Amino acid sequence: MVGGCDNARPMPGLFPRAVAVATSLLAVVAIVILAFRGTGPGVVLRPAASPPASLAPTPTPSTTASPTPDAAQVFAQIEAQVRALRGLAAPSLAPPAIITRAQLAAELRSRFDHDYPPARRAADNVMFRALGLLTASQDIGELQLRLLSGQVIGFYDNETKRMSLVSESGIGPGVKITYAHEYTHALQDHAFGLASLQLSAPGEDDRDLARLSLVEGDATVLMLQWALDHMTPQELLGVSQGPAPNMTDIPAWMVDDLEFPYTAGEQFVTNLRASGGTSALDAAFRSPPASTEQVLHPDKYKSREAPLKVAAPALAAGLGGGWRDLPADTLGEAMVRFWLQGLGDANPLAQQAADGWGGDRLVAATAPGGAFAVAWRLAWDSSADAAQFEQGYRAAAPHLKVSGRLVRVSDREILVVQGSSLAIVDRAVAALS
């Protein structure tokens, strides 16, 4: 489902991919620079982010306000305009509910343990600490709550078929553009069934993010098209001058991962529409991208270049008694880039190192006493691509706060092992390489 209250698997350390779909964030809507007409969507976005619709509040009479007749007319007009732009049939929807940010924050907290269980958060903490992206004092769950509580401004629940908008001051420009985004999700759900995309498949984080990018990219393009066509210059200025989200102490890689479905998704959808119009976009919902590589390189989506199958390393078995493997996952090209940037590589080097990704599989493991490790096997399209990744990793390695080693398993395959001590890393490398 999208939204509601389900047990969808969280994306590593952040929020459930499946329930992140039908949402808008402050960073997406509040700070957009719209290009002149005639250049398509033509936008530059500040870091965007995708919040969890499953963590979104279920509207109740005690916490929401129904739109006034004037507001209902505004929303009905936006719906007709968005339908005309997207060319999809109208769903049957209740009017959106208007809630305050304080009510949203309370709901996020109250639903958090259900949608992102403590055991899963603990596993994600281990993985990201072993990857060198979190310190021992940082907790992925608390970082996520802080990031989302200040940013969610709208969501669509595909189970209840309801939308909610966050506003403290009525139906202003930010609410209007948010509704255009959210109503696009309702159109997608009615036409294609968002649940059919299976955005919470265990161990398929990269595929989940790729499919989410299709969904959010479509809504972002439509939102911006609608804004260009139907908002006044004064309203656009009001949107662009909205408050910026507070990112204090939030790791940059988290923001990068959160914004990816909007920014990369917008470019992916723009490419689809440029080559085949809305027919190509609709076809993509029936045959969605299989990897973030396909999103970042649309030619690989068009040629259906599938990710390479990579076996999960048998990490715990290699480390000996007392060690326990956590669930394996595939992180993908986008996360390779965010990881290297998080370790200290400049963006061009991280991007170059991630290009040529063919497939991967990662396993983290723990032992009594707090020891931890991660083994990440990555396959590349060519030997040169593997060498580029090796260069990027070795540039980042001096910044690692954990022990780590890279091993060329074959011409096109690399094993990265990191852990809480060099002895653990060496033992794992000896067993796995």
Residue 238: predicted pLDDT:
78
Alpha carbon distance 220, 24 (integer Å): 9
Angle 338-343-348 from CA coordinates, rounded to 5°: 55
Convert the pLDDT of each residue in 5-24 to its tens digit: 222 333 333 444 433 445 66
Residue type, 192: F
Alpha carbon distance 75, 96 (integer Å): 8
Pick the CATH number of 315-432 from 2.40.10, 3.30.565, 1.20.140, 2.40.350: 3.30.565
Range 356-381 average pLDDT: 97
Residue 243: predicted pLDDT:
62
Estimate to the nearest angstrom the gap between the alpha carbon of 401 and the chain centroid. 25
Task: For tokens 């076996």, name the residue.
Answer: 311
Residue 396: predicted pLDDT:
95
Joined together, the tokens standing for residue 65 give 């306000």
Name the helix (H) or strand (E) containing 211: helix 205-230
Alpha carbon distance 206, 208 (integer Å): 5
Q: Return the half-sphere exposure (C-beta side, CA atoms, 13 A cut-off) of residue 133.
A: 29
**Using 50, 70 and 90 to split pLDDT, how confident is the model at 322?**
very high
Secondary structure class of 365 (helix, strand, coil): strand
Residue 97: predicted pLDDT:
86
Answer yes or no: are the C-beta atoms of 288 and 211 closer than 8 Å: yes
Percent residues over pLDDT 70 in the chain: 82
Answer yes or no: are the C-beta atoms of 399 and 286 closer than 8 Å: no
Q: Would you say residue 33 has pLDDT above 70?
A: no
Handedness of CA 235, 237, 240, 246 (dihedral sign): negative
Residue 115: predicted pLDDT:
77
Answer yes or no: are the C-beta atoms of 227 and 34 closer than 8 Å: yes
**Least confidently predicted of 32-41, 100-109, 241-250:** 32-41
Q: Count CB neighbours of 288 within 10 A.
A: 22
Q: Where are the alpha helices (DSSP H) in 303-412?
A: 315-319, 332-343, 347-354, 383-396
Alpha carbon distance 146, 135 (integer Å): 17
Closest CA to 160 of 239, 57, 235: 57
The answer to whether the pTM exceeds 0.85 is yes
Residue 44: predicted pLDDT:
27
Compute the mean pLDDT over every residue in the chain, rounded to the nearest whole number. 84
Convert the pLDDT of each residue in 66-118 to its tens digit: 666 688 899 999 999 999 999 999 999 988 988 888 887 787 787 787 778 88
Estimate to the nearest angstrom the gap between the alpha carbon of 1 and the chain centroid. 16
Residue 166, strand partner residues: 99
Range 113-126 average pLDDT: 87
Q: CATH 3.30.565 in the chain, residues?
A: 315-432
Residue 210: predicted pLDDT:
97
